[in-house]
Chains A and B, each alone.
Chain A
Amino acid sequence: MAQIHTLHILNKAPEHPRSGECLRSLNPGDALLLIENAVLALATPGELTAGIPVYALSPDVLARGLAQTARKASLVDFPAMVELTAQAQKVISW
């Protein structure tokens, strides 16, 4: 796991205004973690971000039936989510 400057944790569906705000706030060196409603982004066409690592919380992905479409993100469980928040220098909960 590379050093993360800011871990952005997003829990809003793609159409929520805060989802767009979050995606526009990503900088090189940051990482994006999709949880809850935000994992629905995996079902939409197109790339989420350019050059930013994208993670998605696997229980949320599986619950929504998206396991087969999750190629846009690396799936993480809760222990790995904890690890991401511990490794990142800064965490923003959108």
Chain B
Amino acid sequence: MTATTVQNYTLVITGAPYSSQAPQTALLFAKAAVAAGHTVDRVFLYGDGVHLASSLSSPPSDESHWADQWGNFLSDNDIPGVACIASALRRGLIDESEQKRYELPASNLREPFIIAGLGEWVEGTMASSRVLYFHAGD
């Protein structure tokens, strides 16, 4: 086996937690990539994938809490987690500034996720050496 070139990854998650396996697969991949010395530039949540950033997700205590696990992984490794603003607002994923802007009754974006535009994904396609997508399987 040849020596591995260090890669920098943008990971795009489009499958929602608890309706697809995408966030779990992406997390196990991201942990293995970091452990192997690669860099994860950013994780971009798109489409139904934005549900991973909900602070209100409350699975039963005997099930994995994917939003917490992802949030902790991103914080521990200083990896930006970005939810697409257009996908997020349509699906009711709201940070405090969007709550104020649209005068909504609550916000629910889990730290350390932020909301930003598709430009973050475009940046990934330009700057990262690998862009991987984790889609729903149905």
Q: Tell me if chain B binds chain A.
A: yes
Inter-subunit contact A86/B38 (CB<8 Å): yes
**Do residues A82 and B137 form an inter-chain contact, with CB atoms below 8 A?**
no
Of A11, A77, A83, A85, which is within 8 A of B135 by CB? A11
On whether the beta carbons of A85 and B7 are closer than 8 Å, the reply is: yes
> What residue in chain A is nearest B27 (Cβ atoms)?
A78
Q: Report, nearest first, the 4 A-B pairs whose CB atoms are least far apart.
A: A93-B133, A78-B32, A37-B137, A82-B32
Tell me the count of chain A residues lying within 8 A, CB to CB, of chain B: 24
Chain A residues in the interface with B (C-beta under 8 A): 1, 9, 11-13, 16, 35-38, 57, 59, 77-79, 81-83, 85-87, 91, 93-94
Q: C-beta contact mask, B1-31 vs A, less than 8 Å → 1, else 0?
A: 1101101010000000000011001001101
Query: Which residues on the B side are within 8 Å of A36 (C-beta)?
Result: 21-22, 25, 137
B33 at the interface (CB under 8 A from A): yes
Binding site for A on B (CB under 8 A): 1-2, 4-5, 7, 9, 21-22, 25, 28-29, 31-33, 35-36, 38, 130-135, 137-138
Given A13-B137, A86-B38: A78 in contact with B5 (beta carbons within 8 A): no
Number of A-B pairs, beta carbon distance below 8 Å: 62
Q: A87–B2 contact, CB under 8 A? A: yes
- Out of B4, B25, B33, name the residue touching A87 (CB < 8 Å): B4
Nearest opposing residue in chain B for A38, CB measure? B137
Known contacts A12-B137, A93-B132, A93-B134, A83 near B36 by CB under 8 Å: yes
- Closest A residue to B1 by beta carbon equals A1
Shortest distance between the CB of A43 and any CB in chain B (Å): 16
